[in-house]
Structure 1
Amino acid sequence: MRVTAGIDEPDRRGRTGLHLTGRDLTRNPDIVVRDVEVLANDWYVLRATTFDQRHSDGNWRTERRETYDRGDGATILLYDTARRTVLLTRQFRFPVYVNGHPDGMLLETAAGLLDEDDPVAAIRREAVEETGVEVGEVQHVFDVFMSPGSVTERLHFFAAPYRHHDLRGTSHGVADEGEDIETVELDADDARARIGTDIVDAKTVMLLQWAFLDGPFRLT
């Protein structure tokens, strides 16, 4: 009998039963999951799921969709209303580099996967690791599915104030995880003006727009 890592025995992250995800879903009576195939589970998990879907015309059709499961994440906008600044990060992102970004160095809000933490604990951890700032109380902004056509990740958005004396250098990240992160402090209006040119990361654009529409830099 063939034994497969991640299904019958633990893979390198200690996971089994990866082929069972989605089989027990019954919340939508128009969807019936028939089969789940694990295509890859080197670190994250790529699955192909076959399901029957009842369409609006009443007919059932069999569909097959690939989903990429990397876990849920959290991101945070750090802002200083007194100096009217935001604290972002800059790091190399190969996926954007290979898809046309000039150098792959992306300006972003601090972010990371939840792993085993709850969203608030995770974003506090990531803020320290990526910016060196130990945030106090955080504000929950919203939760968003970032790429629902293929990626399962739900991203939890937060915001929190920081002060100039909170800054501890400009070089951060967890070296063992291959991170080499630079913190970049920008004038808030300058950051907003860079949306679509220098700032092209979706989560960062969304948090900056929130900051001016409903957040700390909104016009009263």
Structure 2
Amino acid sequence: MAEESAVRNFKETVLSDEKFLLRRVEFDQRHFDGWWSRLTREVYTHGNAVALLPYDPARGTVLLTRQIRFVTYLNGHPHPLIEVCAGMLDGDEQPEAAIIREAREEIGCVIRNPRRIFDSFMSPGCLTERISFFVATYGEADRTGRGGGLADEGEDIEVLEITLEAAVAMIGRGEIVDGKTILLLQWAALHGIAD
């Protein structure tokens, strides 16, 4: 016998469909004790994304980015965010292809063998976005461009190359506050990044 879905009777109202889709969704949800309740949520359909921590094993360095993020400014963080290279999947693009493209655009680096280590929902209370997380090794010869992002998308990205140890220390000092970056740096500190 098939298990009954925990969610049923959707009613959706589109609130905005500018760049992405924002909906108000009413639905019935079955609780763990079997009781059903009617709930309402606002859901932002943003698409899926990728994130990458490139690591140079010869020098012990990682490539990070620094850029101004307006929404963090609105929430009291007036400084540019230090982040791993990341971006959205274009259409039906596969995560591996997307992270290779993003590395070239954002950090000017050719990534040949990205290793997918896990996927995560970063804010499942309101965002549908799932992020695929990658690590990859690079060397000085792989830094073939200046990076910086795409000007026509309003990107203004500074590339930072620092040691993994220094990057992890920045988390404890509150200098790195981006969730995806903290996850990848902590993962690298625990597991290493060998190909």
TM over 0.5: yes
4+ residue runs of structure 1 moved beyond 6 angstroms?
Answer: none
Rounded to whole Å, the distance in 2 between the matches of 1:30 and 1:144 is 21
Rounded to whole Å, the distance in 1 between the matches of 2:126 and 2:36 is 22
Q: Which residue of 1 aligns with 2:127?
A: 151
Map 1:104-123 onto structure 2 (within 5 A): 105-116=80-91, 117-123=93-99
Change (3 A) 1:216 1:30: closer
Once the 2 structures are TM-superposed, how far is the Cα of residue 30 of structure 1 from its aligned partner? 2.5
User: 5+ residue gaps in structure 1?
Assistant: 1-25
Instruction: State the SS of the aligned residue for 2:152.
Output: helix
**Alignment partner of 1:72 is 2:19:** no
| Alignment length (residue pairs) | 191
Q: Name the TM-score, length of structure 1 as normaliser.
A: 0.82
**Alignment partner of 1:32 is 2:8:** yes
Change (3 A) 1:160 1:174: same
Contact 2:87 2:99 in 1 (8 A): yes
Q: Which residue of 1 aligns with 2:22?
A: 46
Amino acid at match of 1:191: A
Q: Which residue of 2 aligns with 1:82?
A: 58
Higher mean C-alpha deviation, range 167-176 or range 48-57: 167-176
% identical aligned pairs: 49
Q: Name the TM-score, length of structure 2 as normaliser.
A: 0.92
Rounded to whole Å, the distance in 2 between the matches of 1:100 and 1:200 is 12
Which among 164, 168, 182 is matched to residue 158 of structure 2? 182
Rounded to whole Å, the distance in 2 between the matches of 1:81 and 1:208 is 14
Amino acid at match of 2:84: T
Higher Rg of the two aligned structures: 1
Rounded to whole Å, the distance in 1 between the matches of 2:132 and 2:156 is 23
Q: Which residue of 1 aligns with 2:142?
A: 166
* Bigger relative CO (Cα 8 Å, ≥ 6 apart): 2
User: 5+ residue gaps in structure 2?
Assistant: none
**Alignment partner of 1:55 is 2:31:** yes
Rounded to whole Å, the distance in 1 between the matches of 2:5 and 2:143 is 52
